[in-house]
Amino acid sequence: MNLVFDITGNVLIVVGALIFASAALGVLRFPDAYTRISAVGTAGGLGIVFVVIGALALQPNIVDAVKVVLIVALQLATSAIGSIAIARSASLTGSPLRRARYDELEHGELTSEREP
C-alpha cells in the first residue's frame, strides 16, 4: 500500500509542478495583464492543491490531513480573491486590453439564428 501512496504522491507533485511551469510560460507569452493574471491565479489555486495533496500522500496521517484540508480551502479562496483584486487594480490603473488579431464575428463566418 505504501508503494501506491508513494507513486500517487510523486505523480501529484509533478502535476502541480507542471501546472506552475505552464503558468510561468503563460506569463511570458500572454499579451496583456488580464490574461497573465488569469494564468497565475489558476496555477496558484490548482497547482498548490496538487502539490500539497501529493505531499500528504507521501506521508499520510490524520493531523496532516486536517492541515491539508485547511490549506486547500484557504488557497482556493484567497487565490480567487487575489486574482480579482489584481485584475481590478490593473483595470483602475488603465492597463490596456490587447484586442484579438482575428475576430470570427467581424468577418461574418458565424451568424446569429435570430433576425433583428
- Under the banding of pLDDT at 50, 70 and 90, the label for residue 10 is very high
pLDDT for residue 65: 94
- Residue 7's CB is within 10 A of a number of other CB atoms, namely 11
Position 57 pLDDT exceeds 90: yes
Average pLDDT of the residues in 71-75:
91
pTM of the model: 0.74
Cell (9 digits) for 24: 510561468
